[in-house]
Amino acid sequence: MNISSVEQLVLRAKLHDADAFAELIQRYEGIALSIAYAHTRNRADAGDLVQDAFLRAWTRLDSLDDPSRFGHWLGRMVRNLAIDLRRRKRPGPMDMSIDVADDVDEVSPIERREQKQQIDRALGSLDELSRSCIVLRYYENLSSKEISELLDLSPAAVDMRLSRARNQLKQRLQPVMEEDDL
Amino acid sequence: MNRPDDELDNLLRSHLSSELDAERGAARRAFEQQVTRPMQRQLRRRSWQAHVAQFRHWGAIGLAMAACMTVGAFLPSILGLQTRATPAPTEVAQSQAIGSGPVVTPQFADLERTTVFHHTDAGAVLLDGGVPGRKVLQQRYDTLRYTDPSTHERLEYVIPSQQDLFYPVNRQ
């Protein structure tokens, strides 16, 4: 990611350049979605939360002192909104919807739903910070250094969390992976 | 990386992708709907208001000039003064020959000159080197007025000009 151009976009956005901010949304939407999903574990809530976070970021850009820390600043905003949402919302059933396009292969909808539930449960067994590391790594392909900057951790701490989380997920998802092999 | 690791990676990637890909683009659409489009509408409205204001401004100047010229033309007759018809070249030659009066020529010392500036903030811009700044539209009106001492006719010329000025914004 080109840091200097992100800084320029932030400076332009601070001067109320909406196009520059739209470009920032384009660049950071995946990261924001990853953090939101890691906290809410519900894609619809994550989507709504990211929209709110960007609108809030637009109105509060003046409080961002260092433009190069936009990602970190946005990530913190997403986490705070997720905490607010959790306080407001009582825990309900997880999003079990299945995309129609998912059902075109040989796996039946029931099997797919079971598989999805198992992965959801496995991800749910992780703590929020480790889950954030996993989602940012596997959905956004971020390096440990990039994840560490977003989550206020050291790169070594990110590596450690990723390693432990992967071992935990491997154990929990062993049956799913074996089913896939059959 | 061994096979179970690859399988886990693929499983997680495809799961997260199927979950989150559908949500991509929604934030930008929401932003455009709630911020960009209202801003564009506001800008268009401001532009139209600026056009109307400019039309009013120039219309007022034109009306003022026309009024000055009309008053200048009719002032002598209103005040009961006798206007002198413009003499034919032969008459001028004769009058000069007999020395009946001087030919009046405009004196530049009678010129009155005023300059008026209007400044309009034209929004935020990025200057060279990415420095944030503001663009200011400077409109300048140089007005020259001349009153003919013999006929009291007034002439007024307005010379409008404009230029863009750029100022860095000091955010410290």
- The two beta strands, B132-147 and B112-126, are antiparallel
The verdict on a CB contact (< 8 Å) between B39 and A19 is no
Residue A170 is predicted with a pLDDT of: 92
Express the helix, strand and coil content of chain A in percent, nearest 5 each.
Answer: 80, 0, 20
Q: Is A116 on the interface with B (CB under 8 A)?
A: yes
Question: Are the CB atoms for B118 and B139 separated by under 8 Å?
Answer: yes
Q: Is B129 on the interface with A (CB under 8 A)?
A: no
Residue B85 is predicted with a pLDDT of: 46
Give the H or E element holding residue A20.
helix A18-40
Q: In whole angstroms, give the CA distance from residue A169 to residue A122.
A: 6
Selected residue of B28, B40, B135, B167 to mutate for chain A interface (largest A Cβ count, 10 A): B28
Residues of chain A with pLDDT under 70: 1-4, 90-107, 179-182
CB-facing half-sphere around the CA of A24: CA atoms within 13 A? 34
Q: In whole angstroms, give the CA distance from residue A30 to residue B12.
A: 16
3-state secondary structure (DSSP) of residue B115: strand
Q: Is B66 on the interface with A (CB under 8 A)?
A: no
Q: In whole angstroms, give the CA distance from residue A143 to residue B47.
A: 47
Q: In whole angstroms, give the CA distance from residue A64 to residue A99.
A: 38
Residues 6 or more apart from A82 whose CB is under 8 A from it? A35, A36, A39, A40, A49
> Cα A182 to the chain's mean position, in Å?
31
* Start-end of H helices in A61-127: 70-88, 109-124
Residue B3 is predicted with a pLDDT of: 67
ipTM of the prediction: 0.83
For the stretch B46-77, pLDDT in tens is 776 777 777 777 777 878 888 877 777 776 66
The verdict on a CB contact (< 8 Å) between B19 and A37 is yes
- Answer whether 0.80 is exceeded by the pTM: no
Give the H or E element holding residue B168.
strand B154-168
Q: Is A97 on the interface with B (CB under 8 A)?
A: no
Q: In whole angstroms, give the CA distance from residue B166 to residue B124.
A: 10
Residue B152 is predicted with a pLDDT of: 79
Question: Is the pLDDT assigned to residue B88 strictly greater than 70?
Answer: no
For the stretch A60-99, pLDDT in tens is 999 998 999 999 999 999 999 999 998 887 655 555 444 4
Residue B169 is predicted with a pLDDT of: 74
3-state secondary structure (DSSP) of residue B136: strand
**Nearest beta carbon to residue B124 from set A15, A26, A177:** A15
**Quick one: which of A122, A28, A46 has its CA closest to B11?**
A122
Residues 6 or more apart from B140 whose CB is under 8 A from it? B115, B116, B117, B118, B160, B161, B162, B163
